[in-house]
Amino acid sequence: MVSLVKIVLNLNTNDYYIGYIVDQNQEFVVLQSIDADGNLGGLEYIKNSAIKTIKQDSPELDFCNHFKVRDIFNLKKLNSSFLSLDIDSFESLLAKISTHELITVSTKNGNDLTGHVLKADNLKVLFKLNNQEYPLVIPIEDIVGISINDIKNILENIYHEASSNQDDLVALYLDYEDDERFGEALIGAVVFHNDDYLVLESLNDIGQLDSYVLINRNYIVHTDQDTELLSYYSFLKKWQIKNGSFDFNNLRSQLIQFDQSISIDSFLQSKIGDMVTINDYQLDNVNTGKIVKLEDKKLYLSNIDDFRLSNNIQEFNYSDLASVDLISNDLLRMKQFFN
């Protein structure tokens, strides 16, 4: 049986790929990728010279091997059509890609370029970036990776801008101490609100139900309701519902019952000793871990670090918590992994 591997690149990035090696030659490795939710993804053609290591044992692989891989986007058949082609170089691969297909090309300087191949020869590729008027010329020797059949690219390629946001979706921008986080938005539908909090049915970047998030309204600094981005997410959500992959972990049926008095304080009180995901005003990302104790309006959390519970306990003030996840795909998988 083919084992999952982790491919680490030797570029000045933290990028890595997880999946099954399905082909390999003197120029590149072909990886059948697995996404963060354990879903079968597209094909990654990775130049051998860009690979630092191929690992068969790592915390990430331990986590992924705990779950069954699902082909909810029906990509196995689509990938097989590419694997059946006679391809021995990036040049021959690019020559066989239709001009209508949206792909991502990774270059040795760390850029990921998404667009369409217009023409390719043994020295260069004429590449038109998505939504750009004029094409780029990319030397073949600068390319270290090519992504085929990525579900994000497939969906973007078939998207036709809707006339309006038909799902009452919103984009919520929260206040953070770190300015670099300000542009991050939570996108979804508001399913509950009171004077102090709201619950957002949050979507991931391909329109699937990702989580139900309890948000402190004091931290909401901007709301968008009618933008091209939200029209795009409306399309994504409809596509996922039609495909039967919108709520693939049945989050709706597992959402806790709550009433008008719900607050971050009351939710955390019900989760002592359990795992939670929090979003703190001062930190640079969300934190998932196990609640050690609640005391004096403070949360003490044993964070998950490299898929292990850390011995270091972090302290959070309730007043600094912009949001907590009531339930999420990531939280469900973490709980299943640790149990």
- Say if strands 275-280 and 286-295 run parallel, antiparallel, or are unpaired: antiparallel
Phi, psi of 74 (to 5 degrees): 55, 45
Residue 201 confidence (pLDDT): 97
Amino acid making up residue 256: I
Same domain, 188 and 285: yes
**Which of 128, 158, 188 lies at the terminal end of a domain, its last residue?**
158
Q: Are 298 and 315 in contact (CB under 8 A)?
A: yes
pLDDT of residue 304: 92
Same domain, 70 and 183: no
- Tell whether 288 and 247 lie within a shared domain: yes
Q: Is the dihedral of CA 72, 77, 83, 86 positive or negative?
A: negative
Give the integer Cα–Cα distance in Å for 169 and 186: 10
Q: Which of 137, 158, 179 is the last residue of a domain?
A: 158
Starting at the edge strand found earlier in the chain, the sheet holding 209-216 runs: 220-224, 169-174, 185-193, 197-203, 209-216, 321-328, 275-280, 286-295, 298-305, 308-317
CATH number, domain containing residue 83: 2.30.30.600
**Do 189 and 167 touch, CB atoms closer than 8 A?**
yes
**Residue 84 contacts by C-beta under 8 Å, 6 or more apart in sequence?**
none
- 318 and 196 both lie in a single domain: yes
For residue 95, tell me if it sits in a domain: yes
Given this model, what pLDDT does residue 182 score? 67
The rounded distance, in Å, linking the Cα atoms of 174 and 262 is 20
In sequence order, the β-bridge partners of residue 170 are 188
Pairwise CA distance, residues 182 & 164, whole Å: 25
Give the β-pairing of 143-148 and 40-47. antiparallel
Rounded to whole angstroms, the Cα distance separating 105 from 93 reads 12
164 part of a folded domain:
no
Does 198 map to a domain? yes
Closest of 132, 2, 59 to residue 338, by C-alpha: 59
What pLDDT, on a 0 to 100 scale, did the predictor assign at position 161?
61
CB contact at 8 A, 46 and 31: yes
pLDDT in tens, the chain (339 residues): 579 999 999 876 678 999 999 999 999 999 999 998 999 999 999 999 999 999 999 999 999 999 999 999 999 999 999 899 889 999 999 999 988 899 999 999 889 999 999 999 989 999 999 878 889 999 999 999 999 999 999 999 998 665 566 778 999 999 887 666 667 899 999 999 999 999 999 999 999 999 999 999 999 999 999 888 999 999 999 999 999 999 999 999 999 888 888 999 999 999 999 999 999 887 666 789 999 999 999 999 999 988 998 888 999 999 999 999 999 999 999 999 998
Assess if residue 30 is contained within a domain.
Answer: yes
Residue 219: domain span = 169-338
Q: pTM of the prediction?
A: 0.92
Q: Quote the pLDDT of residue 2.
A: 78
Whether residue 91 is found in the same domain as residue 182: no
Name the domain count of the chain.
2
